[in-house]
Structure 1
Amino acid sequence: MIRVLVIDDHGLVRQGIRQFLADTPDIIVGADASNAADGLARARREQWGAVLLDLTLPDSHGLDVLKELRREQPDVPILVLSMHPEDQFALRAIRAGASGYLTKNSAPEELVTAIRAVVSGRHYLSPWLAERLAREATGHPFNAAHEQLSDREYQVLMRIASGKTTKQIASEMNISPKTVSTYRTRLSEKMNLTTDAELTAYVFRNRLLE
């Protein structure tokens, strides 16, 4: 039996996953958590067959949780289940150690297939994501400006495009306003874009936010 830990801040999502997997003979939700702190604590207390991880959590970004889980439990497969389209975070999630990436509009049956795949030691990748990774491996990556950014710089970019102030971004990311400004300067230099308006236009032009 595959025991799964679900880390997602939406109660309806956690309940839906639990109910659907209850009808699957070889997979069961052993526990769930609504935030990063609780999720990490539960992950440390027990052995898990797999972790289902959302990227949007109230107390930490899912990529940071993913990296922490990977450091502490390198053998546990982590499947990201996110509301964000693949072209926003999938590559970053795989680079950070995820075994697969699914969007929340995927069919429930695909979730079962993905869990079984990652538990068996394989990655679960869409054709789009597999192509991106293959191009990276052969030294021919796609050279979109935002793909040069670190995970933290990318998170700041997304929040700028969402209209957040420096103070709001600092609060959400649990960093100082000065650090936010540093990330802001770095990402502007890497992308060769100066103003918030230019950064926001880039994000929406490339459909990084809907």
Structure 2
Amino acid sequence: MNAIIADDHSFIRMALKQIIQKEFSATVHEAEEGKQVLNILRSHDINLIVLDISMPGRNGIEVMKDINNMYPDIPVLILSGYSEDQYAMRALKAGASGYLTKDTAPQNLVEAINTIRNGDQYITPKLAQKLVKEFKGGFDNKPLHESLSDREYEVFCLIGFGLTISEIAEKQLLSPKTVSTYRARILKKMNIKNNAEIMKYVIENGLLDK
């Protein structure tokens, strides 16, 4: 098996690499950001991708969409520091085969990889309940933040965590002007007046957990 581990933290890549090599006798390629993932895909026959969401430049959801468009048969497991409530639904809609948080036990990671390699989706019981609730509730009861684009939602969460425009721009490799434009769209779409209201919304809707 040829696998890609994409995460901007070297110690996480090292830990994941050890697990995947031990359990699957895999050749593991490492990437720190989305462009590297796509470059590896162009030059190697890849069977599995373990992808983080928060990476420099384009986030994992955006990269996931590219992978799904160009290499739809490659299973992708999102392994993120963000809780399921924050990003799992978006990841699955973008084409991910499964979603786990980084505090998961190694045996759950192995189980998830086995599941998606067999062509199935890996969904935790908590996420399954969320999917059922969304199906039963239809589209009218969706929370306001689900109307945001993936990039808007990322900026929205970072504002909710207390980051400034400049800090978000540096973290996401964007200009402050671009971040301010996203912020303006967020305020308009959600009928929110300021950052304090964003922070309040994030807390009240359980989006603060990482």
Task: Specify if TM > 0.5.
Answer: yes
Cα distance, 1:117 vs. partner? 0.8
Unaligned runs of 5+ in 1: none
Match of 2:11 in 1: 12
C-alpha distance in structure 2 between counterparts of 1:20 and 1:165, whole Å: 37
2:13 partner amino acid: R
In the alignment, structure 1 residue 37 sits paired with structure 2 residue 35: yes
Report if aligned partners of 2:56, 2:173 keep a CA contact under 8 Å in 1: no
Bigger drift between 65-74 and 171-180 goes to 171-180
Report 1:45-84 matches (<5 A).
45-84=43-82
Bigger drift between 198-207 and 84-93 goes to 198-207
In the alignment, structure 1 residue 163 sits paired with structure 2 residue 162: yes
In the alignment, structure 1 residue 127 sits paired with structure 2 residue 115: no
Greater relative contact order structure (CA < 8 Å, 6+ sep): 2
Question: Tell me, what secondary structure is at the counterpart of 1:23?
Answer: helix
| RMSD after superposition | 2.0
Report 1:107-118 matches (<5 A).
107-118=105-116
Under a length normalisation based on structure 1, what TM-score does the superposition of the two structures give? 0.88
Identity %: 40
In the alignment, structure 1 residue 152 sits paired with structure 2 residue 151: yes
Cα distance, 1:60 vs. partner? 2.3
Match of 2:99 among 87, 98, 101: 101
Return closer, same or farther for 1:206/1:135 CA change in 2, 3 Å cut-off: closer
Under a length normalisation based on structure 2, what TM-score does the superposition of the two structures give? 0.88
Unaligned runs of 5+ in 2: none
Question: Tell me, what secondary structure is at the counterpart of 1:101?
Answer: strand
Return closer, same or farther for 1:139/1:203 CA change in 2, 3 Å cut-off: closer
